Amino acid sequence: MTDPANVREQMRDNTRAVWIETPTNPLMKLIDIAEVSAIAKERDAKVIVDNTFASPYGQQPLTLGADIVVHSTTKYLGGHSDVVGGVIVTSDDEAYEKMKFLQNAVGAVPGPMDCFLVLRGIKTLGVRMRAHESNARKIAGYLEQHPRVEGVRYPGLVSHPQHDLAGRQMRCFGGMISFEVKGGLEEARRIVQGTRLFALAESLGGVESLIEHPGVMTHASVAESPLRVPDNLIRLSVGIEDSDDLIRDLAAALMSET
């Protein structure tokens, strides 16, 4: 889907919706929301965008032609790793009425405390996202120059193959970074177990920094399929701690032999 022409080719007469995740998890690929939305509208299909990685601060798909946006409020919207939930946002009145009916009938509603925690997080979203991005830019630049790193995937880097698209459709590149290390699976395992400030955990988007190995953690279920991710891939959710402390933590883990 990074090439809109592939989306056009796969559209069918019975295609009712096109689902986009951008940036993608964990390979940080970007999909052109405006182009895909235009293609979908030719077939009267809805465009749904998972905007969790970017957050509403970093990317606003409805303004680019999307019909529905979904977020895991567990992540950046909550921002403090203390709530589980999701949200659907739409500018389509008909879709809203249908979803609201189902929500009322099925009972897919969060509790009052969960709502309070997400609303509290939204109040600081802009401040936090700027801090996430500032730290992530510095860390991505550091990793890009490291002799034990084969490649860094971060939309804010000029080296990202879709950096120009990121600049057009994102106002903030966020705090998610993936990078590949030399030495394969075992080296990646050693590194994710060797940090002290970066906690080894699967979630993302909180004020604290997390590190994980997608191949054996979040994406283990697709390990034997065409959707498998590289064995040497490491994913970071960069928090808002001091960037120098975070870089020193990564440096120690990357250089350690034990």
Give me the pLDDT at residue 191, please. Answer: 97
Is the pTM higher than 0.85? The answer reads yes
Domain covering 4-123: architecture: 3-Layer(aba) Sandwich (3.40)
**What confidence tens digit (pLDDT) does each residue in 145-178 have?**
999 999 999 999 999 999 999 999 999 999 999 9
pLDDT for res 258: 44
Q: CATH homologous superfamily of domain 125-255? A: Aspartate Aminotransferase, domain 1 (3.90.1150.10)
Residue 85 above 90 pLDDT? yes
pLDDT tens, position by position, 108-152: 889 999 999 999 999 999 999 999 999 999 999 999 999 999 999
Of 175, 206, 199, whose CA–CA distance to 82 is shortest?
206
Domain chopping of the chain, boundaries: 4-123, 125-255
Residue pLDDT, tens place only, 186-239: 999 999 999 999 999 999 999 999 999 999 999 998 988 988 999 999 999 999
Task: Quick: pLDDT tens for 50-83.
Answer: 999 999 999 999 999 999 999 999 999 999 999 9
Q: Which residues contact 252 (CB under 8 A, 6 or more apart)?
A: 194, 195, 196
DSSP string, the chain: --SHHHHHHH--TT--EEEEESS-TTT-----HHHHHHHHHHTT-EEEEE-TTTHHHH--GGGGT-SEEEEEIIIIIT-SS----EEEEES-HHHHHHHHHHHHHHT----HHHHHHHHHHHHTHHHHHHHHHHHHHHHHHHHHT-TTEEEEE-TTSTTSTTHHHHHHH-S---SEEEEEETTHHHHHHHHHTT-SSSEE-S--SSSS-EEE-TTTTTTGGGTTSTTPPPTTEEEEE--SS-HHHHHHHHHHHHH---
